[in-house]
Amino acid sequence: MKYNVIDGLKYTQQHEWARPEDGTAVVGLSDYAQDKLGEIVFVELPDVGAEVEAGKSAAVIESVKAVADLYAPVDGKVTEVNEALLDQPEVINQDPYGEGWVFKVEVKDESQLDKLMDKPAYEEFIIKEEEEE
């Protein structure tokens, strides 16, 4: 696999990842998604305290050529945002699963996380998407 997919994370079909952490989920963009987007030059973050909804746009990530929504993987209240990305959005390209995290959200319904893909399922999903391209 050309793209890095980390064990222990949950993945959405829109290529976000979520990492459960004490009742919240840390959310970011997968390595595959950052690679497809190309050089990221701008990030629009949600407000802390904002209610996000699973499958709805919660943040905007822009590369030189494209504007992409980052969809919330679960319903809940935003507890923290990665403000470092405002000045250094390219960190998402460099470290999508670490320093490139985008926001944290309070998880209301654990079952929403359970429905997301694990590493093997997401890898399979990427392979299919690549083939269709």
Partner 1 sequence: MGETKKTPFYERHAAQNGKIVDYSGWLLPVQFPQGLVEEVHDTRKRATIFDVSHMGEVSVEGKDAEAYLQKILANDVSKLKDNAIIYSPVCYPDGGVVDDILIYRINSENFFLVVNAANTDKDYEWFQDNCSGDVRLQNLSAEYAQIALQGPNSKSILQELTDINLADMKFYRFQADVSVAGVNSIVSRTGYTGEDGFEVYCKNDGALTLWDAVWEAGQKKELRPAGLGARDVLRLEASLPLYGHELSKDLTPLQAGLNRFVALDKQDPFIGQEALQKQKQEGFNRKLFGLEMLERGVPREGYPVMAGKDEIGWISSGSYSPTLDKFIAMAFLDPEVAKQGEEVDVAIRKRTYRAKITKMPFYRRDK
* Residues at the interface with partner 1 (CB under 8 A): 38-39, 41-42, 44, 60, 62, 64-65, 67, 86-87
Residue 70 CB, nearest distance to partner 1 (Å)?
13
State which residue, 38 or 120, has the beta carbon closest to partner 1. 38
Residue 87 CB, nearest distance to partner 1 (Å)?
8
Residue 65 CB, nearest distance to partner 1 (Å)?
5
Task: Report H helices in 17-82.
Answer: 31-37
User: Would you say how long the chain is, in residues?
Assistant: 133
CA torsion 91→93→96→99, rounded to 10°? -10
Cβ density class 41-67: b for 16+ within 10 Å, e for less: eebbbbeeeebbebeeebbebbbeeee
CA distance 35 to 92: 10
State which residue, 22 or 65, has the beta carbon closest to partner 1. 65
CA distance 89 to 74: 23
State which residue, 67 or 121, has the beta carbon closest to partner 1. 67
Residue 44 CB, nearest distance to partner 1 (Å)?
7
State which residue, 1 or 86, has the beta carbon closest to partner 1. 86
Closest CA to 100 of 40, 58, 50, 57: 40
